[in-house]
Amino acid sequence: MSISRTDAAASRPQHIDLVSETGETRSCHGNRWLSLSVLLVGNFVTVLDLFIVNVALDNMRGSLHATAAEVQLFIVGYSVPYGVMLLNGARLGDLYGRRRLFLIGMAVFTIASALCGFAQSPAMLIGARALQGVGAALLMPQVFTSLRILFDGEQRRRAFGIMGAVQGVAACISQLAGGVLIDYGVADLGWRLVFLINVPIGIVALIAGRFLIVETRAPGAARLDLRGAVIAAIGLALLLLPFMEGQDYGWPWWSLALPALSIPVFVYFAYYERRLSAGGGIPIIDVSLFRNIRFVYGVAGIFLFYSAISSFFLSLTMLLQPGLGLSPLWAGAVFTPSAVTFFAAALISPKLAAAIGHRALLTGVAIFGLSLLVAIATGALAPANLSLLIIALMLNGAGQGLVIPLALNTVLGGVRNDQAGMGSGIVSTLQVMGTSFGVAIVGVLFFSFAPQTADLAPGARAAAFGHALSMATIYNLIAVVASFVGFHLLTRATGRPSRE
């Protein structure tokens, strides 16, 4: 292993370059725990931002006079650039230094959050959300990679455990905090505060990160696959945007033709990535991984499962606020039990897996599916019954808490060591793409059934929005059943010799 090290003054972070013959990096000297504390601030705000926006959707829609498609784009506009840029974000950190890219990503995320907070139109908010996604894609890979490099053995497990706890806390407080900010924030800023809160946090992280984060890089880092990222972005835009915009225009011919056109774009993307890999380059997605049937089953299950998570929260937000007339604070309070049970289930998932093996993963999927059945029945029969909705959300969070860590471990456990980094990147990308796809489909279904007029009595309005939730959640249920099949095939294949 070759290691070069340059000592800096005590007030400056150490600059450390290291690489081994196998391309693997190892832990280094420096104030690793101070580095961790700053890195996890970035982790915290990106997770917080992913969830806190849910309780603000109705307020943003009314304030900016947004259409149904634009409401969906408030979510998808963040997740698509995040997913497309994720793998290249990791490579930029390898090439130019992970501390540097973390700081750049945090600066972009902070500036974009301010732009979101002061947006004057849906288009401006969507554009700022896209910029937030780019910032998140630049900073988040540096958190994961830096933790892996700076820590070894038991300390690494402890560091990742702390990161998981931070994510759990962010998820637990996000929607309740969003409700408090909207209902009791200063200067009548309302929903804008859910974005502006990121600004002081980001500034503190930038100042602290400049002096406390240990710098690491991989001297032999691969070149970026920008062409692949552009092709993937075009394909996703052709697939998702016409579905979301088509309803507002009465489903014209292009709303079906453009998604069909995405198929040859994705075929060309696969061809280009395969050719790039054969020529010795590093593609944004290594398509050879998809010869591993276990990996295919696993990522299919993950994509489908994630497509059912945020999209259900979109439907439920619309039921709770415009449908039932709850304030953002009370809507956030309704969501909070889901985050609590998620946190608790994630903590017990390793013990449950040790006790019943792969059945723990399938149990989690079944619990999540049960939560959707409860939600469908409640929306159809008793949409104003908050007790039933909270039960559905508690089951929802518990199912997620079991599935997510166990699915990641099972899927990545079937990937060769030399493909582990690429496999992790593909899984992370498909998580985000699944979210975008689900929001696009469920949003179209929900807003197709939701009432288009405000002139309804409270009971009739609740019933209409409950019906819309029930109809839209049928997609979520179908996706979860399909993900159960994928995970079942994955667990059956696990332990058999790979056919790669």
Topology, domain 1-224: Growth Hormone; Chain: A; (1.20.1250)
The pLDDT-based confidence of 9 (bands split at 50, 70, 90) is very low
Q: Who wins on pLDDT, 22 or 53?
A: 53
How is residue 203 written in tokens?
């500034």
The pLDDT-based confidence of 222 (bands split at 50, 70, 90) is low
Q: Residue 18: its pLDDT value, please?
A: 41
Question: Residue 217: enclosing H or E segment and its boundaries?
Answer: strand 215-217
pLDDT of 27 higher than 70: no
Angle at 413 between CA 411 and CA 419, to 5 degrees: 90
Q: Residue 418: its pLDDT value, please?
A: 63
Q: Who wins on pLDDT, 296 or 54?
A: 296
Question: Residue 421: enclosing H or E segment and its boundaries?
Answer: helix 420-449
Nearest Cα residue to 230 out of 277, 287, 268, 257: 268
**What is the average pLDDT value for the chain, to the nearest integer?**
84
162-172 pLDDT, tens digit each: 877 787 678 77
Asked if residues 94 and 222 have their Cβ atoms less than 8 Å apart, the reply is yes
Asked if residues 340 and 493 have their Cβ atoms less than 8 Å apart, the reply is no
pLDDT of 42 higher than 50: yes
Topology, domain 285-500: Growth Hormone; Chain: A; (1.20.1250)
Q: Residue 421: its pLDDT value, please?
A: 64
Per-domain residue ranges for the chain? 1-224, 226-281, 285-500
The pLDDT-based confidence of 65 (bands split at 50, 70, 90) is very high
Say what percent of the chain tops pLDDT 70. Answer: 89
- The strands making up 2-6's β-sheet, listed across from edge to edge, are 2-6, 15-19, 215-217
| DSSP tag of 285 | S
Same fold across 1-224 and 285-500: yes
Q: Residue 496: its pLDDT value, please?
A: 53
303-339 pLDDT, tens digit each: 999 999 888 998 999 999 999 999 998 998 998 888 8
Q: Residue 261: its pLDDT value, please?
A: 92
Nearest Cα residue to 472 out of 330, 327, 318: 318
| Chain-centre distance for alpha carbon 307 | 10
**What CA–CA distances, in Å, run from 264 to 282, 415, 459?**
22, 28, 48
137-178 pLDDT, tens digit each: 899 888 877 877 787 777 776 777 787 778 767 877 888 888
Give the separation between CA 264 and CA 114, rounded to whole angstroms. 38
Give the separation between CA 413 and CA 173, rounded to whole angstroms. 32
Q: Residue 120: its pLDDT value, please?
A: 94
282-308 pLDDT, tens digit each: 787 778 888 888 889 999 999 999 999
432-454 pLDDT, tens digit each: 888 888 988 998 899 999 987 77
Q: Residue 417: its pLDDT value, please?
A: 61
Q: Residue 7: its pLDDT value, please?
A: 35
Give the separation between CA 268 and CA 56, rounded to whole angstroms. 38
Q: Residue 26: its pLDDT value, please?
A: 42
Q: H helices of 9-121, where? A: 32-52, 57-64, 68-96, 98-117
How many Cα atoms occupy the beta-carbon half-sphere of 275 within 13 Å? 8
pLDDT of 96 higher than 50: yes
3-state helix, strand, coil in the chain (%, to 5): 80, 5, 15
pLDDT of 235 higher than 70: yes
Q: Residue 464: its pLDDT value, please?
A: 95
Q: Residue 24: its pLDDT value, please?
A: 41
| DSSP tag of 450 | S
Q: Residue 205: its pLDDT value, please?
A: 93
Strand partners, 217: 17
pLDDT of 41 higher than 80: yes
Q: Residue 221: its pLDDT value, please?
A: 54
Q: Who wins on pLDDT, 108 or 496?
A: 108
Q: Who wins on pLDDT, 268 or 31?
A: 268
